[in-house]
C-alpha cells in the first residue's frame, strides 16, 4: 500500500511541471477575440421596468409579416403553439388559478418589456439574437395585438411598451417582510 502511495506521489511530482506550463500558456488554437461591436450585439438586457429598451419601433402589420416568416413553424398560424416544438403565445387569460392553467404571454407575463427581452435574446429558435430591435418591437406588437392587450394600430417603441398594462401585472409580488403589505412586482 505504501509503495502505491510513493509511486503516485512521484508520478505527480514528475507531471506537475507539465500541468504548470499548460496553465501559463494563455494562447488557444481556436476561436477569436470578440470586438466591442460583437459584445454590444449580444449584451442586451432589458429589465422588467423597461430599463435598457433600445431605440426602434414596430407595428402590428409588420410584426404579422415577420411572424409568418420567422415564428409560425414553432408557434403556429394562430399563435396556439405547435405540440412538442413551441409554446402557445396567446390565450389562457385568467386560467392560472384553474385546474388547467395555460401559461402564455397573455396569461402569465406580468410586464411587456420582458417580452422584448426574451424575443431579442432567444428568438427565433434557429437564429437567436438575429432580430433587429425594430423587428422585435413589431413581433411584440403582433403578439400583444392578437392577445387583445393593445390595439392593432399601436406602434410599439420603448415608451409605448413600458406603458402597456399586462393582464397578469398583479400576479407577481416582491417578497416582503412580515407585517408589511405586499406590493406587485
Residue-range domain boundaries for the chain: 55-162
Residues 38-43: contacts with CB under 8 Å, at least 24 apart: 41/129, 42/129
pLDDT in tens, the chain (185 residues): 555 677 766 666 666 666 655 555 566 677 888 888 878 777 778 999 999 999 999 999 999 999 999 999 999 999 999 999 999 999 999 999 999 999 999 999 999 999 999 999 999 999 998 999 999 999 999 999 999 999 999 999 999 999 999 999 988 877 766 777 666 65
Give the per-residue pLDDT at 159.
97
Give the per-residue pLDDT at 47.
92
> Which residue bears the cell 400576479?
171
Give the per-residue pLDDT at 22.
53
Give the per-residue pLDDT at 31.
80
pTM: 0.76
Nearest to 54 by CA among 159, 164, 165: 159
In the chain, alpha helices (H): 2-24, 36-42, 60-70, 72-75, 112-122, 133-146, 158-162
Q: For residues 96 and 83, is the Cβ–Cβ distance under 8 A?
A: no
Q: Give the separation between CA 148 and CA 91, rounded to whole angstroms.
A: 10
Q: Give the separation between CA 2 and CA 131, rounded to whole angstroms.
A: 64
> Which residue bears the cell 402597456?
164
Instruction: Give the CATH number of domain 55-162.
Output: 1.10.760.10
Amino acid at each position: 500500500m505504501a509503495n502505491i502511495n510513493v509511486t503516485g506521489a512521484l508520478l505527480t511530482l514528475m507531471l506537475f511541471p507539465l500541468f504548470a506550463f499548460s496553465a501559463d500558456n494563455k494562447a488557444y488554437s481556436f476561436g477569436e477575440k470578440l470586438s466591442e461591436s460583437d459584445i454590444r450585439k449580444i449584451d442586451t438586457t432589458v429589465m422588467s421596468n423597461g430599463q435598457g429598451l433600445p431605440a426602434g419601433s414596430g407595428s402590428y402589420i409588420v410584426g404579422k409579416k415577420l411572424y409568418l416568416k420567422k415564428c409560425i413553424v414553432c408557434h403556429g398560424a394562430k399563435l396556439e403553439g405547435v405540440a412538442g416544438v413551441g409554446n402557445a403565445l396567446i390565450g389562457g387569460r385568467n386560467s392560472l388559478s384553474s385546474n388547467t392553467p395555460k401559461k402564455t404571454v397573455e396569461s402569465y407575463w406580468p410586464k411587456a418589456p420582458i417580452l422584448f427581452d426574451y424575443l431579442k435574446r432567444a428568438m427565433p429558435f434557429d437564429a437567436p439574437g438575429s432580430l433587429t430591435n425594430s423587428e422585435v418591437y413589431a413581433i411584440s406588437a403582433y403578439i400583444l395585438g392578437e392577445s387583445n392587450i393593445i390595439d392593432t394600430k399601436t406602434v410599439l417603441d420603448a415608451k409605448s411598451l413600458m406603458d402597456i398594462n399586462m393582464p397578469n401585472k398583479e400576479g407577481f409580488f416582491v417578497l416582503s417582510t412580515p407585517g408589511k403589505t405586499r406590493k406587485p412586482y
